[in-house]
Amino acid sequence: MELKQIVACCVLGQAFLPAFRARAQASDDPSDRYATEGQQALAAGHYPEARADFEQLEKLHPEVAEVHATLAAIDFKLRAYDAAATEVQAAQKIKPNLPRLESLLGLSLAELGRWEDALPRLEKGFRQSADPDTRRMCGLQLLRAYTSLARDSDAVETALQLNKLYPDDPEVLYHTGRIYGNFAYLVMTRLHDSAPNSIWMLQAQGEANESAKDYEAAIVAYNHVLQLDPQRPGIHYRLGRVYLARFRDRQKPDDRAAAAREFNAELETDPGNGNARYELAVMAQEQGNADEARSQFEQVIQRFPEFEEALVGLGGILLESQKAQQAVAPLQRATKLNPDDEVAWYRLSQAERAVGNREAQRQAMAEFQRLHRTAPGTPRRPDQELTPQKLDADAEKQGTGNRD
């Protein structure tokens, strides 16, 4: 934590240096020298020297709360948390309403592992502080406090608030990610302990094995689920995903056939499963069956008009079928739904070029190239269990060039 975030030293410099200077002029009191040199040491980041000066100042003026507060901030910076807590308490006895002392005390107690004492102060600092730095530090320490006190739901709630307040902060992202992972592990552990042979546990095992690419174990787990509940929605789809992943790893045609069989079985169980129909469309697309792929994509879009990947897939099929005019609308819609989808922008540039709209083509190509240079590959959520639309070889070449 930067010392300025505690701000006690700033209060001292602005409000009390003139008073110390007046005293020094009236006597041999060296207060002005200690205060000035202490502030200079702080500004230079020389914390041990600053502490020595303010310690002398405290001996001369133990009645000044800001001196104790500044020492507390310095001690915190030097990781002398016990001393920091002592100085905060000394300052509060003299001036209880000095800004941010409660937050500093909570942070110090947290570093000492005194979670119960720290908790109310950290909660107040996180929920009520108007200073973003103080609020951030209190929030991060709250994560530790709640976790140490086994208050996992409170830790997750705080993590969600931190992500909303500081969406691009790498330290916040790291610590909140650990909170979510820990909470998920605890929930799965409780599921295992309370219902080890349940459908839910078998499904969790299947998903874990699928993530680890243990295809055989995943197939066994999902089939076990279907033995217990043959009409359970989503399981045939997951089996299809496993077979499809194994096909792409090992290139065995039987796996591709099994994937198609499972996706169709899912549609028999749940005709509204757009993901299963989308995968069938992609498989048809990859096998060069344009009519079948188009039909499947259109059925997905009819039911789910904002299914962005299906819009991109349909646009690609229409381009391959020399129907660029029809491809423009779904691709334009896809770029509005997901402006970061480089495949959608590339295909839109090709469609606009084919219909003779050169300005729109240049704009779409420029956006594609920008995205491709900065972050190749369209960002997707980890839980987006779909086969993504892909760039062709020519698109990869144009991604870093200016060729129309």
Structural domains of the chain, with CATH? 1-99 (1.25.40.10)
First to last CA, the chain: 51
Contacts 24+ apart (CB under 8 A), 114-123: 115/144, 115/145, 115/148, 115/149, 116/149, 118/145, 119/145, 119/149
Q: Token match 């930067």: residue? A: 2
In the prediction, which pLDDT does 242 show? Answer: 96
Q: How far apart are CA 125 and CA 104, in angstroms?
A: 9
Residue 136 near residue 163 (C-beta atoms within 8 A) = no
Q: How far apart are CA 32 and CA 23, in angstroms?
A: 8
Q: How far apart are CA 31 and CA 8, in angstroms?
A: 18
In the prediction, which pLDDT does 181 show? Answer: 85
Amino acid at 357: N
In the prediction, which pLDDT does 11 show? Answer: 43
Residue 170 near residue 137 (C-beta atoms within 8 A) = no
In the prediction, which pLDDT does 383 show? Answer: 47
In the prediction, which pLDDT does 31 show? Answer: 79
Residue 364's contacts (CB-CB under 8 Å, 6 or more residues apart) are 335, 345, 346, 348, 349, 352
Q: Encoding tokens for residue 377?
A: 């590959």
- Enumerate residue ranges in the chain where pLDDT < 70: 1-29, 376-384, 396-397, 399-404
